[in-house]
Structure 1
């Protein structure tokens, strides 16, 4: 079972599940609960009584992965599945024997997805009010024009554009929750969920939080109270001793840089205070279109903030003491 998530990812990346069938994925609202429970139980059954390796679910995922990996046609898949059915007539009757029914089987279990087009310049998603547009509402680029500039670059600060559907789901999970099946006791309960923090390297910290990790104010904890200085063509961050106790001997030592250190450590800012800082700024729109290239230096920069992070749309985000973690491998 350990390889199933990787197989599912490759199936999704292939685009096999992109063609939406008429039936919508089964939700877990009242009238659908019993149907889902039965489907979930069927998915865990052996494909035939003596089989110890495959459940119905793992068999379906395995066969779809083989189809994608070997570039089988849809007709080839159906033919191979029919051969299996003829060889093992005692197979469980719940097995979906055609590609159509195999994809419907995964969607009904909640393993489908919705395809959302994005502007090639990372300006906007073609969803909700933009779902039927033929051009990007920001840069006017055609929706179906391919990006011929080589491989796509990382979205950078524009990551918020792609986080929009996730943030909407997270808000719903926090405010309303979702009915969920507990396989351990066979009960249905309403599950609520929250994001505790992000985990990322330092450059990605800047993209996620909106605080630039470059320049004299690079330290997000120091905020406006940084201890940086120019060292020829580099910037040095000299304030480590500020975090020592006020009476520590090393504060009075001049061995480090010929100076004593009498500055206190920076004050911790609450999420509300940080959000107040952010809301004081005006930021360029998302996207990498030609009219939105690197702007000239702002005469009145808002500290090191480059945007209002979309995660602040979560009602609890500003109340968290720790919002972003650095991956210790870096």
Structure 2
């Protein structure tokens, strides 16, 4: 194969040289490929992302032409190229080829038509059917008997639709959309993971892990309460397997306008502070800058009488351009805490899996992540920059008191508050301390609380001071 003349790929498609070159090439591929019915198509349109039979590839090469960028035919049996690569290239080159082939295989699987000549892909069809299954609560048996079998009987005989629910789930598993169902204590004391993975009762409150029946006995293997965790690292890796998305993830470094105006989070002092304090992290534009959003919702939408509260935790990627940061496509659901009651201050229990992954991405990073834009491997790292939430959720996520007489997170112990007995509310005062020293409002009495304001506001506490305060707290897990 190495001695075969490759100049024919530049010839005119109507010429005899091109026709002879195509036939010799296809004969070699048919003799050396594992499955002649599924060979990566190397035409200029498919560029090895789709797999077809030799007959279809022959038509594509005459219709679309040969992919001129594909010179080393490593996916079509050219062993001499692979052996020379193994002896002369960087040791990581094999991993790059494997990762690129995996990415191309994933794209090819996603682009596989439902049947020959169909405009609808197998992946698109499966996602629509699974959406109906989840929306209407269809069981696996009904999904197999009533949806897949009926739709499959209408299609052509050589269709690619799975025959049962197991094959359908298996076909979607390669997308990296797996979820982990984690049992947790009904009182939200612990998650049954790590050292408590096989425990049958909560080590703190001694409640059973399993749901209790009407007779008071535990129903084994029926958890009393569960949460769902959607691993973030596989989904981050999948984002870099798309050349267009991988390029967008470096937009903040390569295409952002540097004119001193704030148009993107990369223009903020917080972003520049991270680049200054951790230059190794900031020098890699592919490293992710994240924000975390959490709040309670009522999924049943039955009005004010239903107080069911479900808490989704969403990650936002700020590497993207400003018009894509908050798009639904790039907002990543990472944790789902089921109701019926909000977790309150116990939400830190449910965030353990997410925090472990975020700490791993910051401290060690995820090695050998394939970047389809640069066609190289790198170690992916990430940092959590901001939290997006309302004021009650701010208190739950930060562990800071945000109600009562010391409810101001800025003033802290210096908060000025007064209880109003008739409205039974707490009124927060002391705002005039932030005015300039000789401001006229400081001397007015009747317009405010009947007193002059002569004090000065304390500077906000630093992160180091917050850490020192937290170290004094005694708690047990």
TM-score normalised per structure 2: 0.48
1:35 Cα deviation after fit: 5.9
Match of 2:390 in 1: 201
Match of 2:434 in 1: 243
Q: Distance in 1 between matches of 2:141 and 2:166?
A: 11
1:189 Cα deviation after fit: 4.0
Aligned counterpart in structure 1 of residue 354 of structure 2, from 142, 156, 166: 166
1:176 aligns to 2:367 (yes or no): no
Aligned counterpart in structure 1 of residue 188 of structure 2, from 122, 126, 132: 122
Tell me if structure 2 keeps the 8 A contact 1:221–1:266: no
Q: Distance in 2 between matches of 1:240 and 1:190?
A: 48
Match of 2:463 in 1: 271
Map 1:22-61 to 2 at 5 A.
Answer: 30=95, 33-34=99-100, 36-45=102-111, 46-48=113-115, 50-52=117-119, 54-61=120-127
Number of residue pairs matched? 253
Distance 1:50 1:246, change over 3 A: farther
Aligned counterpart in structure 2 of residue 256 of structure 1, from 445, 448, 467: 448
1:108 Cα deviation after fit: 2.5
Tell me if structure 2 keeps the 8 A contact 1:60–1:102: yes
Q: Distance in 2 between matches of 1:185 and 1:97?
A: 39
Match of 1:154 in 2: 342
Q: Which has the higher contact order (CA 8 A, sep 6+)?
A: 1
1:273 Cα deviation after fit: 0.5
Aligned counterpart in structure 2 of residue 229 of structure 1, from 418, 425, 433: 418
1:74 aligns to 2:137 (yes or no): no
Give structure 2 stretches of 5+ with no counterpart.
Answer: 1-93, 213-223, 226-307, 309-338
Q: Distance in 2 between matches of 1:182 and 1:97?
A: 35
Greater Rg by CA: 2
Match of 1:25 in 2: none
Q: Distance in 2 between matches of 1:188 and 1:67?
A: 38
Map 1:85-124 to 2 at 5 A.
Answer: 85=152, 87-89=155-157, 91=159, 96-124=162-190
Q: Distance in 2 between matches of 1:98 and 1:37?
A: 26
Tell me if structure 2 keeps the 8 A contact 1:206–1:212: yes
Tell me if structure 1 keeps the 8 A contact 2:100–2:370: no
Tell me if structure 1 keeps the 8 A contact 2:100–2:375: no
Task: Output one character per residue of 1:250-292: Cα deviation in whole Å (capped at 9) or x when no partner.
Answer: 2222332232222222312111111111211224x56xxxxxx
Considering fraction of residues, name the structure with more strand: 2
Q: Distance in 2 between matches of 1:77 and 1:249?
A: 73
Tell me if structure 1 keeps the 8 A contact 2:406–2:412: yes
Task: Output one character per residue of 1:295-315: Cα deviation in whole Å (capped at 9) or x when no partner.
Answer: xxxxxxxxxxxxxxxxxxxxx
Aligned counterpart in structure 1 of residue 473 of structure 2, from 275, 281, 284: 281
Match of 1:132 in 2: 198
Q: Distance in 2 between matches of 1:145 and 1:275?
A: 39
Q: Distance in 1 between matches of 2:127 and 2:375?
A: 24
**Structure 1 stretch displaced more, 171-180 or 182-191:** 182-191
**In structure 1, the residue corresponding to 2:351 is in which secondary structure?**
helix
Tell me if structure 2 keeps the 8 A contact 1:241–1:251: yes
Distance 1:131 1:69, change over 3 A: same
Aligned counterpart in structure 1 of residue 407 of structure 2, from 209, 213, 218: 218
Give structure 1 stretches of 5+ with no counterpart.
Answer: 1-28, 287-330
1:119 Cα deviation after fit: 0.7
**In structure 2, the residue corresponding to 1:195 is in which secondary structure?**
strand
Tell me if structure 1 keeps the 8 A contact 2:106–2:174: no
